[in-house]
Amino acid sequence: MAIGNRITNTLNAAPGRSFTHLCDRWARVRRQPHPTAARALVFAIVLCLGSAQGWTQQSDQQQMRGLDDEVQEIKSDVLRISAELNLLEEKLLYPSGTEVAVFVALAQGDAMRLDAVRLQIDGQLVAHYIYSAKELEALRKGGVQRIYVGNVATGDHKLEVLVDGKLDGGEDFSRSEQFAFRKEVKPKLVELTLAGPNAGNTPIVLGEW
């Protein structure tokens, strides 16, 4: 009888709480996830998301590199086709039997600042070119410019060249020369080598190819 009283007193020690209530509470406690396990689960999810995002970025970068390569290839094809079309157009416009091309170069080591060149063939103006600083620098480094290409009948012709520029001291320099050349039944190539008077060279020298 005393034992029964002790069990009854134990259950009644917490007013308002029955044995069934205590069992339910214990069951809820067991159902709650462990904090460490929850953090591990969250970390795994974040890791998976990060891996997926990294794979997506890598895939996008590969696609962009592929597109860049395709664009560069297309540009190369366009430039090649354009060069071929220009060559074909030139052959159609300037047949070899009547073609004349005039090139301009600067004498080596000449310090004249070339401003402009005008060309006349048989009294007709065929070219008037004004040079930029970059073009002048290219000529000084040995570059050659094709200033004119056109059609001229076979026979004897007169070429007049007018050069405008400035000397080292800033003085204006202008010189004109006339040359005679003969056009055969084949392309005619003419080179004009220009120089200022201070270099000790002839201002305009005609060379024929």
Q: Residue 102 has what pLDDT?
A: 96
Nearest-angstrom CA–CA distance, 148 and 100? 8
Can you give the pLDDT at residue 19? 44
Report the distance separating Cα 58 and Cα 76, nearest Å. 27
CA angle (35 as vertex; 33, 41 as ends), nearest 5: 80
**pLDDT at residue 5 in the model:** 44
Residue that has been written with the tokens 């402009």 in this structure: 116
- Write down the pTM of the prediction: 0.58
Contact of 190 with 159, CB cutoff 8 Å:
yes
pLDDT of residue 51: 58
- 168/110 Cα distance (integer angstroms): 10
Q: How many C-alpha atoms does 99 have within 13 Å on its Cβ side?
A: 14
Structural domains in the chain, sorted by start: 2-31 (no CATH), 99-208 (2.60.40)
Q: Which segments in the chain show pLDDT lower than 70?
A: 1-60, 90-91, 94, 199-201
pLDDT of residue 41: 59
Confidence (pLDDT) at 35: 56
- Cβ pair 205, 118 in contact under 8 A: no
Specify the pLDDT at position 43.
55
User: How far out from the chain centre does Cα 96 lie?
Assistant: 35
